[in-house]
Amino acid sequence: MSNKLSTSTRRLISRLLAGGALVAIVAGAILIGHPFYTDVQAGKAQTQLAKDLQTASARQDFELNRIQEHSPVTRLRIPRLGVDTVVVEGTSKEALDVGAGHYPETPLPGSNGNVAIAGHRTTYGKPFADLDQLQTGDRVELDTPIGQFVYEMVAPFDGHANPWVIRPDDWTVIAKTDKPMLTLTTCHPKRSAAQRLVARFQLVEGPGGEEVSANTSDGVSPLPAER
């Protein structure tokens, strides 16, 4: 039997190789293009959310603590990282697809307790892409309908670093705290949901530059729900 491949066999192999190369090219294009596409979509949503956050109804909903899911809660800025994104209510996929979402079971910015916000790290605007680069003393500004609240990253505590990594099912990081705190969470490592990266901050300044004592447990509460 001849060791040489027949012409038809060689053609079949060539076609298979070409088909495999085409599949690889398409897969690579999708892999590269998907993050860009999600960033564009999130950017469009952010433009409208920024406008919605400035309305009288947004202020009223914030004051009455009745913000609906997917509605804007606050504008989040991290000067050190150049982050500027509007946070919506909720942490469902639809909510996070605009960039970042407020855990509805936690208090609103400025209130006593643990304000918690989740955000994407590699897609949909990737607001928390470089959360691991933050250091003690770095600030997060939350611009709400009733004013700005500034939080400062606290030093490592409870025997772990800050930021630190946890299991994806560790909900203790958004539990209530005695002092007015802010917790940011995102997936870890990048392009994986195997773990979560967490960063903790403490409220240091309220609207109008009002300083908040590090020893206070009262926070700077939003306006009363019932006036």
95-107 pLDDT, tens digit per residue, is 999 989 999 999 9
Q: What is the 3-state secondary structure (H, E, C) of the chain?
A: CCCCCCHHHHHHHHHHHHHHHHHHHHHHHHHHHHHHHHHHHHHHHHHHHHHHCCCHHHHHHHHCCCCCCCCEEEEEEECCCCEEEEEEECCCHHHHCCCEEECCCCCCCCCCCEEEEEECCCCCCCCCCCHHHCCCCCEEEEEECCEEEEEEECCCECCECCCEEECCCCHHHHCCCCCCEEEEEEEECCCCCCEEEEEEEEEEEEHHHEECCCCCCCCCCCCCCCC
pLDDT at position 162 is 98
Residue 42: is its pLDDT beyond 90? no
**Residue-wise pLDDT tens digits, 56-66:** 999 999 999 99
The model's pTM: 0.79
Q: Which carries the bigger pLDDT value, residue 194 or residue 226? A: 194
Give the pLDDT score at 170.
96
Average pLDDT over residues 109-116: 97
* Res 213 pLDDT > 70: no
Mean pLDDT is lowest, of 20-34, 39-53, 184-198, for: 20-34
Q: How confident is the model at residue 210 (pLDDT cuts 50, 70, 90)?
A: confident
Greater model confidence, 93 or 2: 93
Domains present along the chain, CATH in parentheses: 39-211 (2.40.260.10)
Average pLDDT, the chain: 85
Position 209 pLDDT exceeds 90: no
* Residue 126: predicted pLDDT: 94
Question: What is the pLDDT confidence band of residue 14, given thresholds at 50, 70 and 90?
Answer: low
